[in-house]
A and B are shown apart, each in its own frame.
Chain A
Amino acid sequence: MKYRAEVMISLKKGMLNPEASTIQRALALLDYQVDETATIEIIKFSLKAKSTDEAREQVDQMCQRLLCNPVIHNYQININSGDE
């Protein structure tokens, strides 16, 4: 089966996010007062697996081995069947 995977990578709670604070300051330059700005990186790909669970397990391994740094990141994995 072909699955579509989406990995959403965010900084752990309390971690400084210089990209987000720069964006927030830039929005303030345009007179938009916003708070709690955050950035999330999304990596998308398709993969073959026997089941959704197997696909999720593979993607979880990818996150731990390459896509994320467990010291600073949280991640969320979404798996959809590829026929949509």
Chain B
Amino acid sequence: MKVGIIRFPGSNCDRDVFQALRLAGGEPDYVWWNQRDLTDFEAIVIPGGFSYGDYLRAGAIAAITPVIDGIKDAVKEDKPVLGICNGAQILAEVGLVPGVFTLNQNAQFICQWEEMEVKTTRTPFTSFYKRGAVIRMPIAHAEGRYYNPEMDNLKDQDQIVLSFVGKNPNGSMEAITGVCDLEGKVCAVMPHPERASESILGSDDGLKFFKGLINY
């Protein structure tokens, strides 16, 4: 499966995602922010980082670049799209997933391992997990507090993908740290599955995100 990894000025998890996709058996390639045509790819990953220095709001400026139009086309063609950390913030800014990821409750940059529960397995990225599975992945963000004034819709439509277990480090509503669109094809997660894709990194719990995608 050919997977496009989107690069913005300030992206910094692109090569980690490349490695994780390779491990999962995919054929990743990099795509620069000004490329409008993404028809060569069967899936898209927006990696983490600090696109455009997080100016205005994390993800706000990346959200209006030409590659986003290509991603919108990919979504219309039912291609899976994963946003990780800054990628998740971008997908929320674009409106491809509901709600926003905004400044952490304690106003700190939080960088630590956390446990989280897989709330739905209907997305390509979580199809290799069991519903309710508790997995360990790192988070690294200042703007990761999930906020959505329409929480009932989110639950009714099975759009919660991940939520923290045991604590709520950034003050997210209902400890949510991953959501998807109505179809379940566009997935936005704050934790970094690529940083938990090999046991030498401390956990390989995240590799299934990429295996699920490649085998979709």
Contact = CB atoms under 8 A, between A and B. Distances in A.
A19 B107 contact: yes
B57 A69 contact: yes
A22 B56 contact: no
Contact of A71 (B64, B104, B147): B147
A72 B60 contact: no
Interface in B83-118: 93, 99-100, 102-107
Contacts of B70: none
B26 interface: no
Contacts of A19: 103, 107
Contacts, number: 31
Interface string B139-164: 00000010111000000000000000
Contacts of B100: 69, 71-72
Interface string B42-64: 00000000000000110011001
What class of interface size applies to chain A in its complex with B? 10 to 19
A16 interface: yes
A41 to B, nearest CB: 9
B147 A22 contact: no
What class of interface size applies to chain B in its complex with A? 10 to 19
A22 B107 contact: yes
Interface in B107-142: 107
B212 interface: no
A16 B64 contact: no
B102 to A, nearest CB: 6
A22 B145 CA distance: 16
Contacts of B102: 72
Q: Which of A16, A19, A67 has the most CB atoms of chain B within a 10 A radius of its CB?
A: A16
B60 A16 contact: no
A16 to B, nearest CB: 6
A25 to B, nearest CB: 10
Nearest to A11: B102
Contacts of B105: 16, 18
A13 B100 CA distance: 16
7 contacts: A18-B103, A18-B104, A21-B107, A66-B64, A69-B93, A71-B100, A71-B149
Which 8 A-B residue pairs are closest in the complex by CB-CB distance?
A18-B107, A22-B107, A18-B103, A71-B100, A72-B100, A69-B100, A18-B105, A66-B64
Given A19-B103, A66-B61, A69-B57, 16 more contacts: A15-B147, A16-B105, A16-B145, A18-B103, A18-B104, A18-B105, A18-B106, A19-B107, A21-B107, A22-B107, A65-B64, A66-B56, A71-B99, A72-B100, A72-B102, A72-B147
